[in-house]
Each structure stands twice: as structure tokens, then as C-alpha cells.
């Protein structure tokens, strides 16, 4: 689900409330019954029936509308149809969208890494990455790769292992955020991956790349929250507005949207 949330002051028939949601729905990801998902009953990646995914998606949309938001959504199949049948859409994309992967379905690993290093590729990369042996002493005080994974007493140093045994801590494996010398199938933003490459870390495998157009899409919202806080500090009567902005920010950041 690709979401664009905007405060809107226009009077158009589409955007007729203070806040609007513009949502693109991938048919396979959301179980949409169309030609793209014909014959598929289970989404193996999400481990749910396609029908259940579609019902969840519709429930989410209805929830947003029940809260008073305008929701404008389009499914992948309809977007493909419009691109095929409407020359104006194709021309707009050709004139305005120029990204490294637009015309290529696959790229060799060396080309992907080169594009990340020279700044022409922005997005996220699923890859295997590690600190080479000769750099482990350099990073010994703080391992550079942070990941959320299962660890047990056997995975920690001797001193902390002894402390855990004495205090009866970590009696069984648990999931924790840790620093590590390696990451397997880890999803990394390209600016962070570029930092890793600049500091000598090695990528041994790339599984997939998702490219985005770099744009401060939440700049207006961030400025609204910041300005509301400043005004709330100066004028107690508008503190309620600031609290509302903070609540909206928490709902957005915890909503699982991307």
C-alpha cells in the first residue's frame, strides 16, 4: 500500500475534507479479485487467503472514511489500464519520472552498487552484507549493522554470558535489537548502504531493490507540527491544536503504512 496523506484546503469534488488519503493498492498484495490475481487463492508471501486480504483492505478504507477523511484509491489493474489507454498519463510519466530502474527489470550487482555510490539510485535494498575480517578490530567497540534477531546466551560475550547466568537472565532465546558484523537478507536504505560501502563493508548478494523518487513528502506536515508547538508554547489557548497534531503524528508513524 503506497500512501500519500495531505492536508487539503481546496474545494474540488475529490478533496472535500481537511485531510485526504491517496492510496495505490497492489492487486496481489491486497487480494483484489481481478485478472492479475486470477486463480490465486492464497498469498504465500503474506500467508493469508486473498479474500481475507481484500476484506482487510476494504475495512481499512472504510475506517478512514468513517473518521471523516476523503480516501481516493486506485488498484494496480486499473492503473495499468489507464496507462495503456490514456496517452496523457504515459506522456506525463515520460516527462517527469526519470529513475535508474525505470527502463530496466534487472541490473548486475556491480551496477546497483555503483548507482548507490554515485547517488543516482535512491530507495531500499534487500541484501547480504558483512564487515570483512581486516576491519573487525576497527568496528569492535560498536558493531555497525543493527538488526532485530533471535539471540541466546551463546550469542553474547563470555563476560555478559556469565552475568546472565548468575542473574538468571535470558533463560531462553529472545528477539532483540543488536549490533552485528553481518546482515542476511537485511533491508537497508540506500544512504545507509552507501555509508557502509564507503567504510569498507562488503555486499555479497542483492535480492531486490525498491527505487523511490527522493522528495520531502512530509515536509509540510512536519512544519505544521513544529509551528503548532511554537505557537502552543506562546499561546496556551492553541495548545489543544498542538496536541491534536502530535496525536496525528503518532497515529501516522505507528500505522504501518509506507
Q: What pLDDT does residue 221 have?
A: 77
Nearest to 78 by CA among 89, 67, 68, 62: 89
End-to-end, the C-alpha distance of the chain in Å comes to 7
Average pLDDT along the chain: 83
Per DSSP (E only), the strands in the chain are 2-7, 19-25, 42-43, 48-49, 70-75, 123-130, 145-151, 174-180, 182-189, 202-211
Joined grid coordinates for residue 234 = 506562546
pLDDT digits (tens, 9 = 90+) for 84-140: 999 999 888 888 777 767 667 678 999 999 999 999 899 999 999 999 999 999 999
Nearest to 55 by CA among 33, 73, 70, 35: 33
Q: Is the pTM of this model over 0.85?
A: no
What is the pLDDT averaged over residues 199-214?
93
On the question of pLDDT at 204 being above 90, the answer is yes
Backbone dihedral angles phi then psi of residue 234, each to the nearest 5 degrees: -85, -30
On the question of pLDDT at 53 being above 90, the answer is yes
3-state percent helix, strand, coil for the chain, nearest multiple of 5: 40, 25, 35
On the question of pLDDT at 16 being above 50, the answer is no
Residues sharing a CB contact under 8 Å with residue 231, sequence separation 6 or more, in sequence order: 238, 241, 242
On the question of pLDDT at 3 being above 60, the answer is no
pLDDT range class, residue 235, cuts 50, 70, 90: low
Q: What pLDDT does residue 76 have?
A: 95
Amino acid at each position: 500500500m503506497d500512501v500519500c496523506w495531505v492536508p487539503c484546503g481546496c474545494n474540488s469534488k475529490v478533496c472535500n475534507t481537511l485531510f485526504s488519503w491517496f492510496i495505490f493498492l497492489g492487486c496481489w498484495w491486497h487480494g483484489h479479485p481481478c485478472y492479475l490475481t486470477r486463480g490465486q487463492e492464497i498469498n504465500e508471501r503474506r500467508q493469508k487467503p486473498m479474500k481475507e486480504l481484500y476484506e482487510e483492505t476494504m475495512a481499512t478504507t472504510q475506517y478512514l472514511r468513517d473518521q471523516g477523511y476523503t480516501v481516493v484509491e486506485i488498484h494496480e489493474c486499473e492503473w495499468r489500464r489507464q496507462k495503456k489507454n490514456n496517452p496523457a498519463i504515459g506522456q506525463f510519466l515520460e516527462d517527469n519520472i526519470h529513475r535508474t530502474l525505470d527502463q530496466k527489470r534487472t541490473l548486475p550487482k556491480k551496477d546497483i552498487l555503483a548507482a548507490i555510490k554515485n547517488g543516482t539510485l535512491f530507495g531500499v535494498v534487500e541484501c547480504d552484507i558483512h564487515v570483512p575480517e581486516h576491519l573487525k578490530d576497527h568496528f569492535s567497540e560498536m558493531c555497525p549493522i543493527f538488526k532485530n534477531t533471535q539471540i541466546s546466551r551463546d550469542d553474547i560475550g563470555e563476560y555478559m554470558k556469565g552475568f546472565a547466568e548468575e542473574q538468571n537472565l535470558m533463560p531462553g532465546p529472545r528477539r532483540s535489537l543488536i549490533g552485528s558484523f553481518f546482515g542476511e537478507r537485511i533491508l537497508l536504505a540506500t544512504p545507509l548502504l552507501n555509508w557502509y560501502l564507503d567504510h569498507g563493508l562488503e555486499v555479497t548478494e542483492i535480492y531486490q531493490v525498491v527505487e523511490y523518487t527522493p522528495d520531502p513528502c512530509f515536509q509540510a506536515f512536519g512544519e505544521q507540527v513544529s509551528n503548532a508547538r511554537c505557537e502552543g508554547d506562546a499561546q496556551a489557548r492553541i495548545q489543544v491544536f498542538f496536541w491534536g497534531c502530535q496525536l496525528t503524528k503518532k497515529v501516522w508513524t505507528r500505522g504501518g503504512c509506507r
